[in-house]
């Protein structure tokens, strides 16, 4: 019984595969971290101030979700797009990667616009005092809008990585599909040897074919 030589891969193919794995890991980490940071920042106080009332000043606080719901909504969209990248191929993967990048860019823009917004505080002052013309004085802003902005930047970067390297990434179930990659000579599998069956599955081959 002669040993069957293993199929050799070129250095360029190995480098491409290695680069694809690194970019995939980086995109997953950046995307998940960016969405988490954005969602966390959206729940924190973005602005504080004092509403003037007859009985004195009334402290008011506006969270990120009070100021704008865009960052949190786009963070969820970005997470969904990050998962969907692995379920689609070719032009579909490009479109989903673009959606991921645009979600990050939208978070950055919304967070920057909301960083100096006082309308949410004014609405709270009017609701609390019953005076529609009531406004907030001594307004202060926190760093949380910029934290959300950083989260959006991470999602944007993940989207750019997907656009650049997504064609090298695997697809769900794609490993066992026929014709999904360069065809190599299928090694003979002995059905009575379980180890041969496992090796064939590990190579992405159909041991029953």
Q: Does residue 72 register a pLDDT over 60?
A: yes
Query: E strands within 67-135?
Result: none
Q: How many CB atoms lie within 10 A of CB 209?
A: 8
Phi and psi, residue 207, nearest 5°: -70, -15
For residues 204 and 40, what is the distance between their CA atoms, to the nearest angstrom?
Answer: 41
Q: Is 44 exposed, middle or buried (0-12, 13-18, 19+ CB in 10 A)?
A: middle
pTM: 0.71
How confident is the model over 175-203, as pLDDT tens digits?
A: 444 444 444 455 665 555 556 655 665 56
Please report, rounded to a whole number, the percentage of residues in the chain having pLDDT higher than 70: 67
The pLDDT, as a whole number, for residue 85 is: 87
Of 4, 150, 36, 27, residue with least CA distance to 83: 27
Q: How many CB atoms lie within 10 A of CB 92?
A: 12
Residue 29 confidence class, pLDDT cut points 50, 70, 90: very high
Taking the C-alpha atoms of 132, 133, 134 and 136 in order, what is their torsion angle to the nearest 10 degrees?
A: 120
Q: Tell me which residue has tokens 């009070």.
A: 66
Going along the chain from its start, the domains and CATH numbers come out as 19-171 (1.20.140)
């Amino acid at each position: 019984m002669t040993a069957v030589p293993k199929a050799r891969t070129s250095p360029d193919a190995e480098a491409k595969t290695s680069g694809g794995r690194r970019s995939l890991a980086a995109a997953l980490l950046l995307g998940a971290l960016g969405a988490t940071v954005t969602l966390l920042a959206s729940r924190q106080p973005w602005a504080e101030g004092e509403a003037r009332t007859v009985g004195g000043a009334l402290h008011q606080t506006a969270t990120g979700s009070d100021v704008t719901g865009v960052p949190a909504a786009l963070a969820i969209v970005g997470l969904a797009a990050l998962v969907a990248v692995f379920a689609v191929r070719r032009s579909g993967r490009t479109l989903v990667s673009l959606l991921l990048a645009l979600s990050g860019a939208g978070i950055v823009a919304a967070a920057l616009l909301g960083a100096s917004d006082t309308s949410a505080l004014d609405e709270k002052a009017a609701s609390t005092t019953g005076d529609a013309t009531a406004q907030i004085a001594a307004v202060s802003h926190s760093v949380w809008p910029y934290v959300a902005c950083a989260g959006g930047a991470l999602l944007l970067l993940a989207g750019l990585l997907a656009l650049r390297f997504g064609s090298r990434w695997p697809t769900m179930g794609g490993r066992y599909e026929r014709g999904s990659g360069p065809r190599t000579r299928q090694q003979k599998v002995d059905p009575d040897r379980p180890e041969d069956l496992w090796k064939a599955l590990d190579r992405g081959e159909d041991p029953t074919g």
